[in-house]
Amino acid sequence: MKRVVLLGPPGVGKGTQAELISEKYNMLHISTGDIFRANIKEGTPLGKTAKEYMEKGLLVPDELVCDLVEDRLTWDDCKDGYLLDGFPRTVYQAERFDSWLKSRGEDLSVVLDIQASDELLIGRATGRRVCPACGKTYHIVSNPPKTEGICDNCGTALIQRADDAEETVKKRLKVYQDQTSPLIEYYTGTGKIAEVDGAPGLMEVFEQICALLGE
């Protein structure tokens, strides 16, 4: 039973690795970004609030995110562990999450810190294309669909996330440096962190993660 956190800057490959991990280790993948995007699509009040922050490249307020995650993690499907992608993202979120886990007698297994250079991150985020129907992620260069602009899975036309425009990506990298990167030190302090080099290809990154998670 594992509770794993994927930490890393925008575009480093958290979502991509999360899919691979969840398949191999049969772990539930929970992405706060995906939850917000689903709420935006459905036009819920949560979606309306989240959108104001997301489109500017800013983080959604801590209280809102923590309430959402704490609720989600009490669902029955989280009993056997989970993989968190994109949460926690601030020291406040990490501290509150730690005390929430503690109050339940639970603990994190590991925090995988995936890193790559800003140049790589900008190329990955701006080249990212996603399927609005099934959520599958592609990259125009490193991971293109079989037919340009069309989802392999379901045939839907791919889109670019509004926040993957270059200027917004740069803003998000700055937000990551200021608000999320302090988590590396925080989790180093708790002895939970493991470093992953996110620069090589998908499967090479995945091999490093498998070596850390074990068979």
List residues binding Zn ion (CB under 5 A).
131, 133-134, 136, 151, 153-154, 156
CA pair distance 64, 69, nearest whole angstrom: 9
Burial 127-157 (b: 16+ CB within 10 A, else e): bbbbbeeebbebbbeebebeeeeebeeeeee
Q: Which of 3, 124, 172, 192 is catalytic?
A: 172
Q: Which does 134 bind (CB under 5 to 8 A by kind): ligand ADP, Zn ion, none?
A: Zn ion
Q: Is residue 59 close enough to count as binding ligand ADP by CB under 6 A? A: yes
Nearest CA-CA partner of 204 in 6, 20, 62, 70: 20
Contact 62, 70 (CB under 8 A): no
Contact 185, 90 (CB under 8 A): no
Q: How far is the CB of 155 from Zn ion (least distance, A)?
A: 7
Other CB atoms within 10 Å distance of the CB of residue 110 = 18
Q: Is residue 68 close enough to count as binding ligand ADP by CB under 6 A? A: no
| Of positions 97, 138, 186, 187, contacts ligand ADP by CB under 6 A | 138
Q: How far is the CB of 123 from Zn ion (least distance, A)?
A: 23
Q: Is 96 a catalytic site residue? A: no
Q: Which of 3, 128, 129, 192 is catalytic?
A: 128
Question: Strands (DSSP E) along the chain, which ranges?
Answer: 2-7, 28-31, 81-85, 110-115, 128-130, 137-139, 193-197
Query: Vertex 107, ends 102 and 109: CA angle to 5°?
Result: 165
Q: Is 72 a catalytic site residue? A: no
Q: Which of 3, 14, 96, 129 is catalytic?
A: 14
Q: How far is the CB of 138 from Zn ion (least distance, A)?
A: 10
CA pair distance 181, 43, nearest whole angstrom: 31
Q: Is residue 151 close enough to count as binding ligand ADP by CB under 6 A? A: no
Q: Is residue 96 close enough to count as binding ligand ADP by CB under 6 A? A: no
Tokens representing 204 are 């090479």
Instruction: Report the residue number whose CB is nearest to ligand ADP.
Output: 33
Contact residues toward ligand ADP (CB under 6 A) are 8, 10-16, 32-33, 36, 53-54, 58-60, 65, 86-89, 93, 124-125, 127-128, 137-139, 142-143, 163, 172, 201-202, 205
Instruction: List the catalytic residues.
Output: 14, 89, 128, 161, 172
